[in-house]
């Protein structure tokens, strides 16, 4: 069985034409391709509709949704169809579809737009035209090019306004336009050498576009001008003896032509004498006239010459001028001086008006040029005195001092009165001999030297060097101490000075407490003849060291002993107990003494004034205060390091009145029980005791619940252990165990020993009873009972 299918034409033979202008914007719709090709828009995607790319650029594309042909990239007609042989420009494309395969031909004509302006191949057109060219001559100009075609191409040319030129527009065989430049007036290079014109090409588009080019016309020279000098006659003055090669005159002839027509050569005319040509040289190229031979005013003083300037044109032209040279006389001879006599060296004490030198002067010139003047510098102690014609004497006009100026360089200068003046000079050196006319000088008129006491013998104290501005033996100095006795002691026994360099030494160790200062003189004497001397005062001040400790003079006591004082026990607050006085033999600064307690039995009972050493009571004595107080006072000076001395004072208190009482009678002590310190102590002890009491009570209750009835309880607080015990009555109880004082209270006046707080079971304490009034302080004494 055979199936016969109809033959379908795949490639369409017809061409679908379109026409669009160039430079359309991107995205612009050209046509509905699906409609024009009678295609179903809905099947464009399924059939994979595509548009072939032309010249690797995709200028157009198809929207598969709408079937519209649109611009993808701007189309430039001149790029697609660069040739101007045809006015038409086409873009041929193929549209391909599949299922079934179909190919359609599309032809798009690109219409030209006037988007290009005419352009010249060169921005500047250069023309060379001779100034002798007749008017009416033509000169070709390069034409402008416009990529556009048809009416948009170049249509005409315009020339900027000119007095000498215009243009004529021509049409070529291919229809292109070009212009010829026509000379309408003869040129003159000397008036205007270059003409600047503007040529404009205009196309036929709407609106029209144009392009410009500069036309530069260079006018070529012809030799139609003669050389001309600045002046027709030159008058020149030159000094005689001008050196060979000196410039006399620079001629400058000008020619309005250019090139070889303006190149000028200079030459002497036939009327110039040989003498003049031998004396002066004329440079043929530059026109400089220089000196060739020696000029002497006395031989020849006027020179006349004629100079011709000729150009180098084909038909050379020339001009001439006249020059008169006047030779002027000049001051060409230098004055001369001669030293006939010169005395050097001379003593610095030379007398005034003494002749030092004799000088003669001369000048070979005559007139003003032959008159000469001689002088020396103004700042010198000399003057010139004319002795005869052209002879001068140099004399001393001021006193000389070698120490200020040891020598003088005297310059003799001789000058004539010519114009310009000439001069000559000669320098002589005058040396001065020294005279012993200066006494030695110390830098100071008075020396104050501080020496620390206890110095080492031979110690250097000061260098007392003097200065003598004289020379040699007149400046060699010897130093001596001018003898002076103080307390039958010579200064040379205390001090020594080096006679050569003036160094002062101490010969002994000084003690400020014995010797505090010395005043003497030192003399410096030179070795001149006669010798001169001067002296200087020296004040030696011995500086104190803190080498003496304070000595306590009150209260007096033997060395190492203790001072004992007795005071009433009823002494009021602020009463003077004792006064410590110490002395220090050092200087005021080191001897300033301050007092301090080093040890004190009760710091709340006594005060010490640190400046006057007074010991006063700070409060009244209480019955609890011991009868014996021990005070250790230190007296310290103000030195560095500080020195000190101490004194120990034992104070014993005693009753002011003694009465007999029965054993049961108590004698109360009067004291301020409610002083500030006691009040604070009572409050503090009360608070602590209250807390301690609560703690003890709780502890006792707990222990009593567990305790056996047969065992006796320890003494409770405030229990009286001993009452009216003769051992503790009127005595002081002392224990080596500090804890004892917190457990018991001895009411010695009542003869009672009271428990302060519960005593631990099995405790054992050793207590000594010391009778009052015995002065004992510890339990080692034999009078104490245990």
CB contact set of 724 (below 8 Å; sequence gap of 6+): 663, 664, 750, 751, 752
Residues 214 and 243 in one domain: no
Residues 167 and 194 in one domain: yes
pLDDT score for 672: 46
pLDDT score for 374: 92
Strands 346-347 and 423-433, bridge-based pairing: parallel
What share of the chain in percent tops pLDDT 90? Answer: 25
Alpha helices in 396-532 (DSSP H): 491-494
pLDDT score for 368: 83
360 belongs to a structural domain: yes
pLDDT confidence bin for 729, thresholds 50/70/90: very low
pTM as predicted? 0.39
Average pLDDT for 497-520: 89
Residues 607 and 572 in one domain: yes
Average pLDDT score, the chain = 81
* pLDDT exceeds cutoff 70 at 785: no
pLDDT score for 303: 94
CA 731 – CA 769 distance, rounded (Å): 6
* pLDDT exceeds cutoff 80 at 644: yes
pLDDT score for 208: 85
Higher-pLDDT residue of 102, 113:
102
CA 33 – CA 46 distance, rounded (Å): 16
pLDDT confidence bin for 663, thresholds 50/70/90: very low
Higher-pLDDT residue of 676, 189:
189
786 belongs to a structural domain: no
pLDDT confidence bin for 2, thresholds 50/70/90: very low
Last residue of a domain, one of 517, 543, 569: 543
* pLDDT exceeds cutoff 70 at 675: no
729 belongs to a structural domain: no
Q: Highest mean pLDDT: which of 78-82, 169-173, 505-509?
A: 505-509
Range of the domain at 493: 446-543
Residues 215 and 307 in one domain: no
pLDDT, tens digit, for every residue of 573-586? 888 888 989 888 87
Residues 104 and 128 in one domain: no
CB contact set of 158 (below 8 Å; sequence gap of 6+): 167, 199, 200, 202
CB contact set of 671 (below 8 Å; sequence gap of 6+): 620, 621, 622, 623
pLDDT confidence bin for 203, thresholds 50/70/90: confident
* Paired strand residues for 506: 495
Residues 558 and 646 in one domain: yes
Last residue of a domain, one of 220, 247, 271: 220
Average pLDDT for 428-437: 88
Q: Which backbone phi and psi does 770 adopt, to 5 degrees?
A: -110, 120
Residues 373 and 286 in one domain: no
CATH number of the domain encompassing residue 43: 2.60.40.60
Last residue of a domain, one of 626, 654, 682: 654
Residues 216 and 233 in one domain: no
Report the number of distinct structural domains present in the chain. Answer: 6
Average pLDDT for 456-461: 90
Residues 375 and 283 in one domain: no
For 539-555, the three-class secondary structure string (H helix, E strand, C coil) is: EEEEECCCCCCCEEEEC
Residues 344 and 322 in one domain: no
690 belongs to a structural domain: no
CB contact set of 15 (below 8 Å; sequence gap of 6+): 105, 106, 107
* pLDDT exceeds cutoff 90 at 304: yes
pLDDT, tens digit, for every residue of 522-575? 999 988 888 989 999 999 998 888 888 888 888 877 766 688 888 888 888 888
pLDDT, tens digit, for every residue of 751-760? 567 676 677 7
pLDDT confidence bin for 332, thresholds 50/70/90: confident
7 belongs to a structural domain: no
65 belongs to a structural domain: yes
Higher-pLDDT residue of 348, 172:
348
Residues 606 and 513 in one domain: no
Residues 105 and 123 in one domain: no
Per mean pLDDT, which range of 14-28, 371-385, 580-594, 707-721 is the poorest?
Answer: 707-721
Q: CA angle at residue 88 from 83 to 94, to 5 degrees?
A: 100
251 belongs to a structural domain: yes
744 belongs to a structural domain: no
């Amino acid at each position: 069985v055979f199936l016969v299918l109809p033959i379908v034409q795949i490639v369409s033979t017809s061409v679908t034409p379109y026409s669009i202008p160039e430079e359309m914007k991107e995205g612009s719709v050209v046509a509905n391709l699906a409609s024009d090709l009678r295609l179903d828009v809905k099947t464009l995607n399924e059939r994979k509709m595509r548009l072939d790319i032309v010249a690797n650029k995709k200028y157009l594309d198809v929207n598969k949704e709408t079937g519209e042909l649109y611009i993808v990239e701007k189309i430039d007609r001149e790029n697609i169809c660069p040739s101007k042989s045809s006015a038409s420009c086409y873009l041929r494309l193929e549209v391909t579809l599949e299922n079934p395969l179909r190919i359609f031909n599309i032809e798009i004509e690109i219409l030209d737009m006037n988007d290009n302006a005419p352009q010249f191949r060169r921005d500047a057109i250069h023309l060379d035209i001779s100034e002798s060219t007749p008017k009416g001559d033509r000169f070709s100009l390069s034409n402008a090019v416009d990529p556009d075609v048809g009416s948009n191409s170049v249509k005409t040319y315009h020339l900027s306004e000119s007095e000498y030129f215009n243009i004529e527009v021509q049409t070529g065989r291919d229809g292109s336009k070009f212009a010829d430049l026509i000379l309408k007036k003869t040129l003159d290079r000397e008036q205007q050498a270059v003409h600047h014109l503007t040529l404009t090409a205009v196309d036929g588009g709407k609106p029209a576009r144009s392009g410009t080019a500069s036309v530069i016309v260079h006018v070529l020279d012809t030799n139609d001008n003669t050389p001309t000098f600045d002046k027709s006659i030159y008058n020149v003055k030159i000094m005689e003896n001008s050196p060979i090669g000196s410039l006399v005159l620079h001629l400058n002839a000008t020619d309005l032509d250019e090139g070889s027509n303006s190149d000028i050569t200079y030459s002497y005319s036939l009327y110039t004498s040989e003498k003049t040509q031998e004396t002066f040289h004329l440079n043929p190229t530059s026109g400089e006239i220089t000196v060739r031979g020696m000029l002497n005013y006395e031989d020849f003083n006027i020179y006349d010459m004629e100079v011709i300037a000729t150009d180098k044109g084909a038909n050379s032209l020339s001009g001439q001028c006249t020059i008169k040279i006047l030779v002027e006389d000049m001051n060409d001879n230098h004055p001369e001086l001669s030293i006939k006599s010169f005395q050097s060296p001379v003593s610095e004490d030379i007398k005034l008006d003494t002749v030092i030198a004799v000088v003669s002067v001369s000048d070979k010139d005559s007139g003003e040029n032959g008159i000469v003047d001689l002088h020396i510098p103004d700042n010198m102690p000399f003057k010139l005195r004319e002795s005869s014609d052209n002879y001068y004497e140099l004399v001393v006009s001021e006193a000389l001092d070698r120490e200020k100026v040891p020598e003088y360089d005297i310059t003799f200068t001789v000058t004539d009165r010519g114009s310009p003046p000439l001069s000559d000079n000669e320098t002589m050196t005058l040396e001065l001999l020294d005279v012993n006319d200066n006494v030695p000088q110390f830098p100071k008129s008075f020396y104050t030297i501080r020496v620390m006491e206890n110095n080492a013998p031979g110690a250097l104290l000061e260098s007392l060097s003097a200065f003598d501005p004289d020379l040699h033996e007149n400046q060699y100095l010897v130093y001596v101490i001018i003898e002076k006795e103080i307390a039958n002691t010579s200064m040379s026994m205390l001090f020594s000075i080096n006679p050569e360099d003036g160094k002062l030494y101490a010969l002994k160790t000084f003690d400020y407490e014995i010797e505090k200062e010395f005043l003497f003189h030192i003399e410096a004497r030179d070795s001149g003849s006669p010798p001169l001397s001067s002296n200087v005062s020296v004040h030696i001040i011995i500086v104190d060291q803190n080498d003496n400790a304070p000595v306590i003079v009150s209260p007096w006591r033997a060395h190492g002993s203790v001072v004992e004082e007795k005071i009433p026990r009823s002494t009021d607050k602020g009463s003077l107990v004792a006064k410590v006085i110490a002395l220090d033999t050092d200087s005021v600064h080191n001897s300033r003494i301050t007092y301090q307690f080093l040890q004190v039995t009760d710091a709340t009972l006594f005060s010490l004034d640190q400046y006057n050493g007074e010991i006063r009571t700070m409060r009244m004595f209480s019955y609890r205060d011991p009868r014996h107080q021990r005070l250790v006072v230190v007296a310290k000076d103000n030195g560095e390091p500080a020195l000190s001395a101490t004194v120990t004072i034992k104070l014993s208190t005693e009753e002011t009145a003694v009465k007999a009482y029965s054993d049961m009678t108590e004698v109360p002590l009067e004291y301020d029980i409610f002083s500030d310190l006691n009040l604070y102590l009572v409050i503090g002890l009360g608070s602590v005791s209250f807390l301690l009491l609560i703690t003890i009570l709780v502890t006792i209750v707990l222990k009593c619940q567990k305790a056996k009835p047969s065992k006796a309880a320890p003494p409770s607080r405030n229990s009286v252990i001993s009452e009216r015990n003769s051992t503790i009555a009127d005595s002081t109880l002392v224990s080596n165990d500090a804890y004892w004082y917190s457990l018991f209270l001895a009411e010695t006046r009542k003869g009672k020993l009271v428990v302060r707080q519960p005593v631990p079971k099995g405790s054992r304490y050793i207590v000594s009873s010391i009778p009052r009034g015995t002065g004992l302080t510890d339990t080692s004494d034999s009078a104490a009972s245990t």
